[in-house]
Amino acid sequence: MTTTKFVLPESDIPTTWYNVVPDLPKGLPPMLHPGTREPITPADLAPLFASELIAQEFATDRDVDIPGPVLDIYRQWRPSPLIRARRLERDLDTPARIYFKYEGVSPAGSHKPNTAVPQAYYSKLDGVRRLTTETGAGQWGSSLSMACAYFDLECDVFMVRVSYDQKPYRRGLMETFGATVTASPSDRTEAGRAVLAADPDATGSLGLAISEAVEAAMGSGGSARYALGSVLNLVLMHQTIIGQEALLQLDLADDYPDVVVGAAGGGSNFAGLALPFLRRQFEGGRTVRFLAAEPSSCPSLTEGSYDYDFGDTAGLTPLAKMHTLGHDFRPPAIHAGGLRYHGMAPIVSALREVDLIEARAVPQTACFEAGVRFARSEGIVPAPESSHAVRVAIDEALRCRETGEEKAILFSLSGHGHFDMQAYIDYFAGKLTD
Ligand SMILES: *Cc1c(COP(=O)(O)O)cnc(C)c1O
């Protein structure tokens, strides 16, 4: 029998997350306080995050226990399947073996609940009543809304205005989970009012929505905290459940990847898949090529500078050393496919600096072409974000066709595109350009 889907029993769900920080060859530069520019302390973050999350952001242990109530929720969709893309291999006529780890099976349709659930759980433990956050296309907002519903927390989402207007279904999903959704810029915060005063028709950006969500949490008198869906050390750590499962599943397949690919916005799903393989490599295992795929129109890793920058537009967050396009960056209006954040996770940035990972920038029409090809052979419509990884994985497989190399390629299919069909419709209508 040829196996296509490598399935683990629930009892094999990893019970710890992997913290890569102690294994980074040059360590991680500290985050800096936005006022003093001194390294931040856990106390500086207390108005923003629950205490256990702050402890995780500064953690120096390699293995961090996943709490039982979080595992109980993970069990609803984890372990997620690892699938051999046999029909795609035939379609590409490649000698490569292509595997994808499919995170679209979560209730919100992406990998983001892997961190939304523990962030909501630890906030509840601290007696927080409300979480504030930002969302662009709505994947993160819907994941956090779902997690808040599980733990009976209020969820207050600032949604980038252009998506608020163009993506009513993600907004509807958040409201179904009980969240309050506010278009950003809004008149609820100083950061939002300043932008609206200069331009009443401003369509917003992820960086500005972060400023609004941070300001709303800090002005809550302690009842609210802020949640972030990517970039932070703790988020990347929560996502390592993906790669740990994939290691076990490739054992079942009696295979090991030569290349690991992930789409990188803030870097969390890419790192979540890659870091457990990198750990194996640190421990003497095979060397893997890790490829982070990003949009040509938001090329933080391939073209950004490696510098201290704010996480948000208004400069309310700590400064992090990362690859960045500048905190006032806004992707060109033609860009449809998510992955719009100006910076990159400090961990991913640090790995890029020491050449442990590579990065590829891919234009959007090539990504949609790859997404459509994948859908027609594997039946799953990739989220536009995920299609960046599909593109790079297909390019690797096509290279194998030319060289005859029988490589194993593993990529992260971070989510499905069922809420993004307008972008596919626009692609078919020829409305998307590079
Ligand atoms: C948010 C998102 C991404 C990008 O975020 P990362 O933190 O880089 O993983 C990629 N794919 C999907 C489906 C997403 O929702």
Counting from 1 in the atom list of ligand 1, the atom nearest the Cα of 231 is: 7
* Per-residue buried b or exposed e for 82-105, using 16+ beta carbons within 10 Å of the residue's own CB: bbbbeebbebbebebbbbbbbbbb
Least-confidence region, from 37-41, 334-338, 419-423, 426-430: 334-338
Sequence-separated (6 or more) residues with CB below 8 Å from residue 123: 50, 53, 131, 151, 153, 225, 227
Q: In whole angstroms, what separates CA 379 from the centre of its chain?
A: 23
Q: List the beta bridge partners of residue 159.
A: 135, 183
Token code pair at residue 408: 């194993």
pLDDT, tens digit (0-9, with 9 covering 90-100), for 322-374: 999 999 888 777 777 788 899 999 999 999 999 999 999 999 999 999 999 99
Question: What pLDDT is attached to residue 338?
Answer: 80
Average pLDDT, the chain: 96
Supply the pLDDT for residue 362: 97
Residue whose CB lies within 8 A of the most ligand 1 atoms, among 385, 418, 419, for a mutation test: 385
Are residues 158 and 213 in contact, defined by beta-carbon separation less than 8 angstroms? Answer: yes
Contact residues of ligand 1, CB 6 A cut-off: 110, 112, 139-140, 230, 263-270, 338-339, 383, 385-386, 414-415
**Single-letter residue type at 56:** Q
Task: Give pLDDT, residue 340.
Answer: 85
- Classify the C-alpha dihedral 139-141-144-149 as positive or negative: negative
Helix crossing, 233-252 with 113-125: angle to 10°? 130
Integer Cα distance of 182 and 145 in angstroms: 13
Q: What separation in Å is there between the alpha carbon of 221 and the centre of ligand 1?
A: 31
The answer for residues whose C-beta is within 8 angstroms of residue 260's C-beta and 6 or more apart is 273, 274, 277, 288, 289, 290, 291, 410, 411
pTM exceeding the 0.95 threshold for the entire prediction: yes
User: Region 88-116: what's the mean pLDDT?
Assistant: 98
Question: Average pLDDT of 379-400?
Answer: 98
pLDDT of residue 33: 96
End-to-end CA distance of the chain: 44
248 CA → ligand 1 middle, Å: 23
Who has greater pLDDT, 434 or 417?
Answer: 417
* pLDDT, position 331: 78
Instruction: Determine the atom of ligand 1 nearest the C-alpha atom of 143.
Output: 15
Please give the average per-residue pLDDT across 263-278, as a whole number: 98
CA of 269 to the centre of ligand 1 (A): 6
Average pLDDT over residues 207-234: 96
The Å distance, Cα 38 to ligand 1 centre, comes to 31
292 DSSP β-pair partners: 262, 359
Centre of ligand 1 from the C-alpha of residue 238, in Å: 14
Hey, what CATH topology would domain 5-13+66-109+234-428 get?
Rossmann fold (3.40.50)
Q: Which atom of ligand 1 is nearest to the CA of 264?
A: 8
Determine the pLDDT at residue 429: 97
Per-residue pLDDT at 361: 97
Q: Which residues pair with 183 in a beta bridge?
A: 159
Say yes or no to pLDDT of 36 above 80.
Answer: yes
Ligand 1 centroid distance, CA of 388 (Å): 10
| pLDDT beyond 90 at 110 | yes
Lowest mean pLDDT among 30-34, 109-113, 339-343: 339-343
In what helix (H) or strand (E) does residue 91 lie, and over which residues does it extend? Answer: helix 86-92
304: tokens are 């950004």
Tell me which residue has its CA closest to atom 2 in ligand 1. 385
Q: Could you tell me the pLDDT band of residue 186, with boundaries at 50, 70 and 90? A: very high
Q: What is the DSSP string of 175-217?
A: HHTT-EEEEES-TTSHHHHHHHHH-TT----HHHHHHHHHHHH
Q: Quick check: 40 and 80 in contact, CB under 8 A?
A: no
Percent of the chain predicted with pLDDT > 70: 100
Q: Is the pLDDT of residue 269 over 80?
A: yes
Q: Which of 80, 102, 110 to mutate to test the pocket of ligand 1 (most atoms within 8 A of CB)?
A: 110
pLDDT score of 243: 98
Q: What percent of the chain has pLDDT over 90?
A: 94
State the pLDDT confidence band at 133, using cuts at 50, 70 and 90: very high
Give the residue whose CA is nearest to atom 15 of ligand 1.
Answer: 139
Give the pLDDT score at 302: 96
Q: CA-based Rg of the chain, rounded to a whole angstrom? A: 20
What is each CA distance from 112 to 119, 258, 298, 376, 402, in whole angstroms?
Answer: 11, 26, 20, 25, 36
Atom of ligand 1 nearest to the CA of 112: 15
Q: Of all protein residues, whose CA lies closest to atom 13 belonging to ligand 1?
A: 415
Q: Ligand 1 pocket: which of 210, 268, 357, 381 to mutate (most atoms <8 Å of CB)? A: 268
Distance of alpha carbon 216 from alpha carbon 218, whole angstroms: 6
Ligand 1 atom nearest to CA at 230: 7
**Exposure string for 46-66, b = 16+ CB within 10 A, e = fewer:** eebbbebbbebbebeeeebeb
Which residue has the least CA distance to atom 4 on ligand 1? Answer: 265
Residue 140: what pLDDT?
97
Give the tens place of pLDDT for each residue, 391-406.
Answer: 999 999 999 999 999 9
351 Cβ contact partners less than 8 Å away, ≥ 6 residues apart: 24, 278, 290, 357
Nearest to 118 by CA among 271, 235, 269, 276: 235
pLDDT category of residue 412 using cuts at 50, 70 and 90:
very high
Query: What was the pLDDT predicted at 267?
Result: 98
CA atoms within 13 A on the CB side of 229: 30
pLDDT, position 335: 74
